[in-house]
Copies of this chain bind each other. A is one copy, B any other.
Amino acid sequence: MKRIENFKSIIDKYEIIFFDAFGVLKTYQGLVPGIQKTFEYLEAQGKEYYIVTNDASRSPVQLAESYHKAGLANITPDRIVSSGMLTKEYLGLKVEDGIVAFLGTPESSHYIEGAGLHTLPVSAINSDNIDKVNAMVFLDDEGFNWCDDLNKTVNILRKRTIPVIVANTDKAYPVSLADVGIAIGGIAAMIESIIGRQFIRFGKPDSQMFMFAYDLIREYRPINKTQIVMVGDTLQTDILGGNKFGFDTVLVLSGNTLPKDVENRITSTGIVPTYICDSAVVELDELGF
């Protein structure tokens, strides 16, 4: 574990950088100040990067648009790997036909739609169509009535022995400096415990997320794990998952892990990043790089 002063030296050491989104590139207030310089430097150096996120609430196209609006103009949808993409792949491989019931916004469901599958919100499931429900997906904590639709979800799953996919494993997420929101991963864990089943969870720290991104790269170029570094703000997801997959890892202190807690948290969890850095912002000197 090494303290790094300038994130620039991380970029210089690796071929490809994986970034977590929330707490690394943006916070509840918008972009992390100065993060544009990091992407300028990546571009100037011809380094590749991917944004590897547990956010299944929107498609990569929509996520990229939100970065453009915020001022990161260069991020294209093909740079974004989300747990929603693993859900889409799973449904394509394992569910042949029928209805995929979901909890989430309409936007979150559009891009998991595929050939032969009909996505319907849980609220639209009834006694006429329940027998055609062949999968259930937890996508987002918004877009449905919690009381009505969570009770309905429990009862659909008691009647149908079908795969259940949780596309975002986080239990909570920050909504302001002081407050958090309950995430769909926390809600899914409650339902899992009530009906006594084990759901399929995509999203960091699960390896399949890293493998999906790693495979995307290997389709167009040779690479090995030592040439990639994972940058994240959360020990239990980004760093644990990156370490386990075999990547080097950087813990940044711009999100979930505060500078005053970092030592304690590493000791108590036993999760050790390769590097610690204040943020993923590149500090450029005046004469260029």
Question: Which A residues lie at the B interface, using CB under 8 A?
Answer: 89-90, 93-94, 145-147, 150-151, 154-155, 157-159, 161-164, 171-172, 178-182, 186-187, 189-190, 193-200, 206-208, 211, 225-226, 236, 240, 243-246, 266-272
Contact = CB atoms under 8 A, between A and B. Distances in A.
A270 B236 contact: no
A199 B243 CA distance: 12
Contacts of A225: 93
Contact of A211 (B181, B207, B226): B207
A245 B94 CA distance: 10
A163 B246 CA distance: 12
10 A-B pairs with least C-beta separation = A146-B146, A190-B190, A197-B270, A93-B246, A207-B208, A146-B147, A155-B179, A207-B207, A200-B244, A171-B194
B240 A198 contact: yes
Contacts of A271: 198
Contacts of A179: 155, 158
A75 B46 CA distance: 46
20 contacts: A90-B244, A94-B246, A145-B147, A146-B150, A150-B182, A161-B272, A164-B270, A171-B194, A180-B194, A186-B193, A186-B194, A195-B270, A197-B268, A197-B270, A198-B236, A198-B269, A200-B243, A200-B244, A208-B211, A211-B211
Contacts of A272: 161-163
Contact of A154 (B182, B193, B198, B200): B182
Chain A at the B interface: mostly helix, strand, loop or mixed? helix
A182 B151 contact: yes
A125 B179 CA distance: 15
A211 B211 CA distance: 8
A84 to B, nearest CB: 16
Contact of A243 (B154, B163, B180, B211): B163
Nearest to A158: B180
A163 B145 CA distance: 29
A180 B207 contact: no
Given A93-B246, A211-B211, A266 B161 contact: yes
